[in-house]
Structures are given as C-alpha cells and as structure tokens.
Amino acid sequence: MRRLHNQHEQFEPGTLTVVGIPSDENSSFLRGVALAPNRIREALLSGASNLCAEDGSDLSQIPQFVDVGDLDLPFGEVWDTSGSPRIEAGISKLLNQGARVISLGGDHAVTYPIIKAYAAHYPQLNILHLDAHPDLYDELDGNRFSHACPFARIMEEKLAARLVQVGIRTLNQHQRQQANRFSVEIIEMRDWHQGMTVEFDGPVYLSLDLDALDPAYAPGVSHHEPGGFTTRDVLHIIQNLNAPLVGADIVELNPTRDLVGITAVTAAKFLKEIATKMLNTKDYHEKT
Ligand code: MN
Ligand code: MN
C-alpha cells in the first residue's frame, strides 16, 4: 500500500483509496474511536502478518491501492446543521477523481456524510450494513447526527435504493417503527445462520460496524453486545458478496478497550478482504 504524502496528487480512475476519519464527537457513550485509523494502519502494516488476502491477492504489490492519510478535521468545526460538509467534501474529492474509497472511522456518524458524497455518484446505491444496532434513531440525546442516527438521515433523504441490515440484536419499538417507515430490510442476528448470503442487483456500499461481531471476537468497541458474528461469519459475507462493491467503511473500533489489539487486527483483516473485493470490481461503471 502506497502512502500518499502529496495531498494534491491526482488519481487514475479505479484507484482504491483508504482514508481515515478520526471523528468521535457524536459517540453517545464513550470517546476513543477517533484513535482508530492509525491503530488499523499499524495492524495492517505490522510484521506479524502480510498484506495478502485469503485468495492470495498481495496488496503490497498493487500500486492502485493507496492510503491518502486522514481527513483534516479540526475539533468543533466538523459538524453543522447539514451534517459534516468537511467529511462529505473529503470523500467527494476522491470520488470526483474516479477513485473508490474505504473509510476508517471514527464512529458510525461518519457514514451519513460519506453516503451523501456517494449518492451523487451512485444514484441506485445499495447499502449492506453490518451492526449490532440499527442506528435508526430519529435523534439521541438531542443529537440528530449521533452515531445512533446515520441510517435515519440516509433514508430520510433517499440516499440509498436499499438498506439491508444484518446482525441486528438491539431493536426497540422506536427503531422497529423507523425500520418500517423506511422499508429497511433487516436480518436480525437471532435469524442468522451460517452460510447465508444477501443478494443485490446493483452497486453495493458496505458499512461495517465492528460491534456486529461478538465481543469475544472484537472487544475493542464502545458498545459490547453479546451474541454476535464470528470473525469468519463476516469474512464469509465479504468474500461471497455477489455484486459490485464500490465503497466501504469500517467504524467503531475503540482502541482504549482493545485487549492486546485484537480488534484492530480484525479490522485490518477485514480491510484486506474488502480491498481485494473492491479491486476485483473493475468493470463496473458509475451511473449504470
Ligand atoms: Mn453502528
Ligand atoms: Mn453498533
């Protein structure tokens, strides 16, 4: 993976960029997830493993896989009444150059401005959302941009053709109503069985909240919710996705709770598999 030092470098169409979004001011319970992007990079580049995905693709040998560093997010200037123009602009800048983007959060609030940028390029975008939580609150603690709300904002603004949520295990009455209101398709964790896949017939954006995993596999998250995915379940979903994967985020790693760094290593493993899947999505044209 090349690390970009010149922020003004132009990308070839099809470049796969990794960008950090160190934002945790919309976290409702604990801070700390702003520390995540660099922990994931360290795990990815650690001598403890290599940069190969399980199909043998060696990301260290792929020049169009580029780390563009973190978005510049001065504290307190990131969010306004429209969301986060800075995050949206940062992602738009990459998409406008024909790049695709894997974002490293940050908390799940970042997905709303990311999807705003993506929707301008992919009007028929499907979102596959893995999470213990549906994140469909109209507001939480008076904050409409809380990390508990991004998919309510996305669906209100009709930024996605379909929203499919998998791994959910915290639905309350309000969020069930919101899911019905927005026609969200939910596969609850209690209904999940090994080997299930989700079918799509258009471009897919993957939003991966690491608390979708059981805390036994990923303790480094702010909201522990037992009874979740194994690491292998999530790898299976990524590897068997039968649709063009055009963007992704990996969010909610909280390094302050990460025992021996295992959650960061797990995030880095997912990053390798997602990147390989996206690099294999070569022939997909925008706006088709
Ligand atoms: Mn979430
Ligand atoms: Mn969650």
Residue 251, φ and ψ in degrees, nearest 5: -130, 165
Per-residue model confidence (pLDDT) at position 3: 76
Burial class (CB in 10 A: 0-12, 13-18, 19+), 242: exposed
The CA 196 to ligand 1 mean position distance, Å, reads 21
H or E element at residue 262: helix 262-279
Distance 105 CA to ligand 2 centre (A): 13
What three-state secondary structure class fits 207? strand
Helix axes 231-239, 262-279, angle to 10 degrees: 10
Q: d(Cα 16, Cα 272) in Å, to the nearest integer? A: 12
d(CA 151, CA 279): 26
* Domain covering 2-279 assigned CATH 3.65.10.10 in the classification: no
CB atoms within 10 A of CB 152: 25
- Using omega within 30 degrees of 0 as the cis cutoff, is the peptide bond preceding 106 cis? yes
Ligand 2 centroid, distance to 186 Cα (angstroms): 14
pLDDT of residue 7: 64
What is the biggest distance separating any 2 CA atoms in the chain, rounded to whole angstroms? 49
DSSP secondary structure code for residue 143 in this structure: B
Element containing residue 129 per DSSP (H, E): strand 126-130
Give the Cα separation of 112 and 231 in Å (integer). 25
pLDDT tens for each residue of the chain, 288 residues long:
777 766 677 888 889 999 999 999 999 888 999 999 999 999 999 988 999 999 999 999 999 999 999 999 887 677 888 889 999 999 999 999 999 999 999 999 999 999 999 999 999 999 999 999 999 999 999 999 999 999 999 999 999 999 999 999 999 999 999 999 999 999 999 999 988 989 999 999 999 999 999 999 999 999 999 999 999 999 999 999 999 999 999 999 999 999 899 999 999 999 999 999 999 986 554 544
Return d(Cα 161, Cα 118) in angstroms, integer. 12
Those residues whose beta carbon sits under 5 angstroms from the ion ligand 2 are 131-133, 209, 211
Which ligand has the shortest distance to the CA of 251?
1
Coil, helix or strand at residue 193: coil
DSSP characters over 76-120:
TSS-BTTB-HHHHHHHHHHHHTT-EEEEEESSGGGHHHHHHHHHH
CA of 109 to the centre of ligand 1 (A): 8
Cβ-proximal residues to 45 (8 Å cutoff; 6+ apart), any chain: 1, 51
CA of residue 53 to ligand 2 center, whole Å: 25
Q: Which of 139, 190, 185 is nearest to 169 (CA)?
A: 190
* Tokens 């904050």, residue located: 143
Q: Cα–chain-centroid distance for residue 85?
A: 18
Residues 32 and 248: their CA atoms lie apart, in Å, by 21
pLDDT for residue 288:
41
Q: CA-to-CA distance for 24 and 75, rounded, in angstroms?
A: 10
